[in-house]
Amino acid sequence: MIPRRNFIKSGLACAGVAATGAFTHCKPRPNVPSYLKGYEGLYAADPRKAALEYFREAKFGLFLHYGLYSLLEGRWQGEHVRPAEWVQLRGLIPVKEYGKLADRFTAEKFDADFITDMALGAGMKYINITTRHHDSFCLFDSKYTDFKSTNTPAKKDLVGELAEQCGKKGLGFYLYYSHGRDWQHPHAPNNGNWGGAARPNYEPREESYKYGEDHDLQIYLTFMKNQITELLTNYGPIGAIWLDGIGTPRSRPDKIHLFKCQELYDHIHSLQPQVLVSYKQGLIGTEDFKAPERHFEGASDVPLELCDTLQPHSWGHNSQDDGDHKSADKVMEMLKKSESIGANLLLNAGPLPDGSIHPEDVKTLREVGKRLQKA
């Protein structure tokens, strides 16, 4: 993996941007990101419009849900949990106990070169990875937390490794980030003021969380803004910031404004003008595209992306689903359905505990790629 800061040499960030927040002294627009090759003219006039046109025409992308939950394979105390990536909340695993999983995280077979080649071979045009899921564990080297992959036996910046390979191969690189939910940060939305599975319902209550007057949502919002700034200044050209956890802010429509989403969107666009923003089905109405899960009905006023899994239901790896992953025939049906409503298909693979892609998924995606080449 190349050093993270080397990405900044592309010209996407100005000297001192991350430290000062002063964007008014930026140079003219940089070279066109590799994934936007062929969109140079449109990019020169309107970077975000170019990225949106690329997204409209992409049709097919790879989603990766990988983290500490992958180590449990959907199991806790002998019981299987679905979806597997919700094992902390559904299993009521104490924060400290869950945190111990970091000592076992090696990601020894996470191979960004293989993953990007697999995606290209399947006819996919972009990759989206969970930089930080609801458990708050980060797959990138953030200076705002110790709960990250570079601080485990893996000692890997998985986002950086994938960013490098996507840049080399012309794949769009999209970044999932849990916004509405966080089960580790003391000042994240809590169950006292929010619903939407904001927190696990621990009994007795979790000592590390802040409650009542001690709870300050603004501290959490600043934490997220700082991390998203890192993602947009340290990893080269990004195609989209893909926010999740919409159930929490939606649980209190009268308080959605407290999340300051438009302020965050404007900040994102100031860092990289081509970056698209999505917040699942759309939270405040100014998102660039919608990304509902599985069974979407109706019409959309913005570009659409249907998200689904190669496993029957879970996004993170669930060993109970071994032998029951989707076939190439099923994926082709899903692609046909998505195309019929003018949507992309974002198809998820949940890597195994060691970071490798499940053999069933590799086989399916190789076959899908062969069929698409013949179509």
Provide the pLDDT for residue 30. 55
pLDDT tens digits, one per residue of 58-112: 999 999 999 999 999 999 998 999 999 999 999 999 999 999 999 999 999 999 9
Collapsed DSSP state (helix, strand, coil) of residue 251: coil
SS3 content of the chain, % helix, strand, coil (to 5): 40, 15, 45
Asked whether residue 8 carries a pLDDT value surpassing 90, the answer given is no
Q: How confident is the model at residue 365 (pLDDT cuts 50, 70, 90)?
A: very high
Amino acid in position 79:
E
In tens, the pLDDT along 184-234 reads 999 999 998 999 999 999 999 999 999 999 999 999 999 999 999 999 999
Give pLDDT, residue 244: 98
Is 3 a residue whose pLDDT tops 50? no
- Residues 33 and 273 sit within 8 Å (Cβ to Cβ): no
Could you give the CA distance from residue 256 to residue 245 in angstroms, rounded to a whole number?
13
**pLDDT at residue number 16:** 36
User: What's the CA gap between 64 and 357, in Å, rounded?
Assistant: 9
pLDDT computed for residue 6 by the predictor = 41
**pLDDT by residue (tens digit) across 262-304?**
999 999 999 999 999 999 999 999 999 999 999 888 789 999 9
What is the model's pLDDT at position 27? Answer: 44
The whole-angstrom separation of Cα 84 and Cα 78 is 13
State pTM to two decimals: 0.91
Q: At what angle do helices 112-121 and 359-374 cross, to 10 degrees?
A: 40
* Mean of per-residue pLDDT scores for the chain: 92
Contact criterion met (CB below 8 Å) for 82 and 314: yes
Higher pLDDT, 271 or 31: 271
Neighbours of 2 (CB within 10 A): 13
**pLDDT, tens digit, for every residue of 131-162?**
999 999 999 999 999 999 999 999 999 999 99
pLDDT of residue 4 exceeding 80: no
Residue 2: its pLDDT value, please?
41
Sign of CA dihedral 190, 192, 194, 200: positive
Residue spans per domain, the chain: 45-374
Instruction: Tell me if the domain spanning 45-374 has CATH number 3.20.20.80.
Output: yes
Q: How far is the C-alpha of 10 from the C-alpha of 32, rounded, in Å?
A: 10
